[in-house]
Amino acid sequence: MSDPFLGSEEYSERAHELYNQGQYDEAVEVLREGLSLYPSSAELHIGLGYARLAREEYAWARAGFERALGLHPGQEDAMAGLAETLLKFGERARALRCYDEILALGFREDHDLMIQIGRALFREGMFGHARGFFEICATHHPESSEAAASLGYAAHRLGDEGSALYWLRRALDLDATHSEARIYLGNVLYDRGEYEAALVHFERTEPHEHTDELAIWRIVELKKSIYRLPTGDPELVPWRQRLQELERDLEPVDQLLTEVEAIQPDGTVRDPTQLELFGTLLVELQGMQQRRSTEMHRVRTTRGVTYAGTWEEIVLQMKMDDRHWSEVSVSDYMEQVARKRRAETGVIIPATDAEAFVRGSALAGLLRILR
């Protein structure tokens, strides 16, 4: 039963608490109730816009932000929210105009708003624009570990590895407990082949701080390889437990794909607790001088086998599952498969690098790129 004595600000505060707890459905209900009493509250319309945005209801979110701007033109949170929905609809030019207007209104020193805008652009792959807003934030808030780390992420995605390393280390200088930045730095160092340095940073994180499986796989294999730990060593138990927790948290569709990934070409099931594949990866990836990125991808072969990881990790997994080529190098495997496919069908698959090989294999009909 609603409380007739609640004001619009109280509705907004209650919804904000629910939003921060991830209870988006409940937040929407509170905001709709508030708007039934205070339909002219721009603040409630903005809150509803962000709750809808969190539920990926982009058209409804856009309508909420537009209503808020109709009531309060130039309101910066509404403009930022509208711009984010415009990005979802592919209206990048208009979104950028909204962001430019926010800057023109004098909000460059608003730390949270600049980070929010940068992240929205980053999520849409607009890394150069994202970097610009993170730079604005870092300029006005040089003490912000979050701004420094965000600059590191954007620089890395833009291929500026030197700047990425600088800003990630700067973020950790500002806040040694910034686990997200430390995990990212560990992954960058791993990709550079600096395995011991990567492990130094990985070991300064706790299992519960990891929300992605990649770094945990790497931690387990680095510990096994560098410290010569056996598979069942107690030191590895917390990390394996975290892997199991992340697997349980998967959405049903992702869980199904994970189960499919465990099925090997011969129909047997790969033991989900075995990570020996990544020990081989640790050795073979040292010879891969040009790692393109740590962005994760997922592919499915015509036999229904699914692989996930970077382009290089996907190719390595494919090679390890192919009994004919499992003993050769990754480069030899790509060349042999490409040569065989060309002889059989006349289709040319590039074997110059992992990404080209996977994309070429998709065009040749050998697999489908899911992500």
- Measured CA to CA, the distance from residue 329 to residue 335 in angstroms comes to 10
- CA torsion, points 330, 355, 291, 287, in degrees to nearest 10? 10
Contacts of residue 14, Cβ cutoff 8 Å, sequence gap at least 6: 6, 30
For residue 29, being part of any structural domain is answered with yes
Q: State the DSSP string of 113-160.
A: HHHHHHHHHHHTT-HHHHHHHHHHHHHH-TT-HHHHHHHHHHHHHTT-
Summary mean pLDDT of the chain: 85
For residue 305, being part of any structural domain is answered with yes
- Compute the average pLDDT of residues 259-281: 42
For residue 31, being part of any structural domain is answered with yes
Say what the pLDDT of residue 336 is.
Answer: 84
* 8 Å CB contact between 368 and 348: no
Q: Which structural domain range is residue 329 located in?
A: 289-369
Q: Residue 36's domain is classified under what CATH number?
A: 1.25.40.10
Of 72, 107, 142, the domain-final residue: 107
- pTM summary value: 0.67
Can you say how many angstroms the Cα of residue 131 is from the centroid of all Cα atoms in its chain?
A: 16
Helices 213-227 and 195-202 meet at what angle, rounded to 10?
120
Distances in Å between the Cα of 292 and the Cα atoms of 158, 160, 197, 362 are 11, 12, 20, 18
Can you say how many angstroms the Cα of residue 24 is from the centroid of all Cα atoms in its chain?
A: 21
Going by pLDDT thresholds of 50, 70 and 90, the confidence category of residue 162 is very high
Of 54, 85, 107, the domain-final residue: 107
Q: Which residue has the higher pLDDT, 39 or 317?
A: 39
Helix or strand holding residue 367 (H, E):
strand 367-369
Helix or strand holding residue 111 (H, E):
helix 111-123
- Measured CA to CA, the distance from residue 161 to residue 289 in angstroms comes to 14
Give the number of domains in the chain: 2
Going by pLDDT thresholds of 50, 70 and 90, the confidence category of residue 64 is very high
For residue 313, being part of any structural domain is answered with yes
- Compute the average pLDDT of residues 204-226: 92
Strand partners, 263: 269
Contacts of residue 278, Cβ cutoff 8 Å, sequence gap at least 6: 217, 218, 220, 221
Of 51, 82, 107, the domain-final residue: 107
For residue 36, being part of any structural domain is answered with yes
Contacts of residue 171, Cβ cutoff 8 Å, sequence gap at least 6: 145, 146, 148, 149, 152, 178, 181
What percent of the chain clears pLDDT 90, i.e. is strictly above it? 58
Distances in Å between the Cα of 162 and the Cα atoms of 62, 92, 120, 152, 156 are 38, 29, 24, 9, 8
- Compute the average pLDDT of residues 245-267: 55
- State whether residue 306 is helix, strand or coil: strand
For residue 183, being part of any structural domain is answered with no
- Compute the average pLDDT of residues 18-46: 94
Of residues 78, 71, 129, the one with CA closest to residue 107: 78
* 8 Å CB contact between 188 and 161: yes
For residue 220, being part of any structural domain is answered with no
Q: Which residue has the higher pLDDT, 209 or 251?
A: 209
For residue 257, being part of any structural domain is answered with no
Residue 369 has pLDDT above 50, yes or no: yes
